[in-house]
Amino acid sequence: MKKIEDLVEEIVFKDNRIVSFPVELECVGQGRSAAVFKMKNINQVIKVFYPSHQHLAFREAEVYNRLSNRVFFPHLKEVGDGYLIMEYVEGITFYDCLRTGKRITPEMVRKVDEVLTYVRSRGLTPSDIHLRNIMLTRNNEVVLIDVVRFTQPNECQYWPDLKKAYYKFYLRKFFPKRFPKLLIELIILLYRKRLLSI
């Protein structure tokens, strides 16, 4: 198998979009500052930051080291120039729970709150806690991914607003538990533009 550095060098981005990547990798996620690739036949991922965000790799590694909790977060194995190597978390995001109709229970919401309390106890600020950054493992454990923004001075409102919508709407008996992707994206867009209040 190729060295990690060689695999990372073969990944090509243009305008924060993936152009190409090695056949040894499978893209499993893409966000505002990085893309995540699973290494085939290995239970690890490489998070590769876009060229304009490469400096965030060492910042995120520092956050993972401060958190040092393998239950609530993926285990960081290595940090390099513009990339992280972490354990692969098998599961489904809360976003995909809404797309597939997998029920999000009050216990899962309580577990997210427990994780955020732990983050604060480590002197960090939970931020950017949204549906795609909260994972539910096969064992029904809640794991947070993408912790780079935990060094920001202020908490964002994403999680408190998600919780409010959860208790106000989602838990209602006849409220749908499965939504088309287009509708979820529309709600997210309206929320971010502050055209939708909860």
Q: Which residue has the tokens 């999000």?
A: 104
DSSP annotation of 48 reads: E
Is 15 catalytic? The answer is no
Q: Which residue has the tokens 């499965």?
A: 178
- Given the residues 96, 128, 146, 161, select the one marked as catalytic: 128
Instruction: From 55, 54, 36, select the one nearest 45 (Cα to Cα).
Output: 36
Q: Give the Cα separation of 124 and 120 in Å (integer).
A: 5
Q: Which residue has the tokens 């994972």?
A: 135
**Per-residue DSSP letters for 88-121?**
---EEEHHHHHHHTPPPPHHHHHHHHHHHHHHHH
Contact 73, 148 (CB under 8 A): no
Contact 34, 53 (CB under 8 A): yes
- Hey, which residues are catalytic here? 128
